[in-house]
């Protein structure tokens, strides 16, 4: 249980950092767009890992697959396609603009959390 709580705390920390970015740095595209996307992948990884014990490599692959899928759905205007184009929440959660830099940010986020989980968390928290 101790290990799972670490993932919860990390997810909550990333969520708080994302909120800080949205509140204070929404005008700075690099911080909001790029750093925010890196944090979101770490948040998603830790949140799922709190509930399910999956090996770091498999979890990283899953998070990357989810992240890439959401980004590709943005390319095809998924939010409008399902009729939620007027929903601000849907537009924020799913996003509306495809950007190759987002794929790079997701990849960096997954690499960071994979290395942290594999080399630090998996060994220190048992």
Domain ranges of the chain: 2-124
Residue whose token pair is 């919860």: 8
Query: Percent of the chain having pLDDT more than 90?
Result: 55
CA 95, 99, 100, 103: dihedral to nearest 10 degrees? -20
pLDDT at 31: 83
pLDDT at 125: 57
Q: Say if residues 45 and 113 touch (Cβ distance below 8 Å).
A: yes
* Whole-angstrom distance, CA of residue 4 vs CA of residue 23: 29
Distance of CA 49 to the CA centre of its chain: 13
Residue whose token pair is 């928290």: 125
In sequence order, which residues have a C-beta less than 8 Å from that of residue 117 and are 6 or more positions away? 45, 49, 56, 59
Low-confidence ranges of the chain (pLDDT < 50): none
């Amino acid at each position: 249980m101790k290990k799972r709580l670490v993932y919860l705390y990390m997810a909550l920390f990333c969520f708080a950092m994302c909120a800080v970015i949205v509140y204070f740095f929404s005008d700075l595209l690099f911080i909001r767009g790029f750093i925010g996307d890196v944090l979101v992948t770490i948040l998603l990884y830790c949140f799922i890992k709190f509930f399910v014990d999956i090996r770091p490599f498999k979890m990283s692959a899953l998070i990357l697959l989810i992240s890439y899928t959401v980004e590709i759905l943005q390319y095809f205007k998924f939010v409008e396609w399902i009729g939620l184009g007027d929903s601000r929440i849907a537009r924020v959660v799913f996003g509306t603009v495809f950007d190759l830099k987002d794929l790079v940010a997701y990849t960096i986020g997954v690499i960071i959390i994979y290395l942290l989980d594999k080399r630090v968390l998996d060994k220190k928290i048992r």
